[in-house]
């Protein structure tokens, strides 16, 4: 009987979390303000990997577009 009570409690908790998930996702996207300092760090797993090189280039473009005064690290 205890097994079933514990399983039921877990199912109820999971159901509540599932029901509350859309409320957390209902928030709109955060817009960046041009000229505001944003600290960005990219830690590639491997150096010389094309995916991470492209991500770095994209971060540089985003920093330039947002006029970020902070240097990329």
> What predicted TM-score, i.e. pTM, was given to this entire model?
0.48
User: Residue 38's pLDDT is what?
Assistant: 75
Asked, for residue 57, whether it belongs to a domain, the answer is yes
**Quick one: which of 64, 16, 8, 3 has its CA closest to 38?**
64
Q: How far apart are CA 45 and CA 33, in angstroms?
A: 30
Could you give the number of structural domains in the chain? 1
pLDDT in tens, the chain (73 residues): 777 888 888 988 888 878 777 766 667 777 777 788 877 777 888 888 898 889 889 988 888 888 888 877 7
Asked, for residue 55, whether it belongs to a domain, the answer is yes
Full domain range(s) for residue 34: 2-65
Question: In degrees rounded to 5, what are phi and psi of residue 50?
Answer: -55, -40
């Amino acid at each position: 009987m205890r097994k079933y009570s514990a399983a039921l409690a877990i199912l109820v908790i999971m159901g509540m979390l599932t029901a509350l998930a859309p409320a957390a996702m209902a928030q709109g996207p955060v817009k960046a303000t041009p000229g505001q300092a944003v600290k960005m760090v990219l830690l590639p797993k491997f150096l010389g990997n094309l995916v991470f090189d492209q991500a770095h280039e994209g971060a540089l473009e985003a920093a330039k577009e947002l006029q970020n005064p902070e240097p990329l690290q």
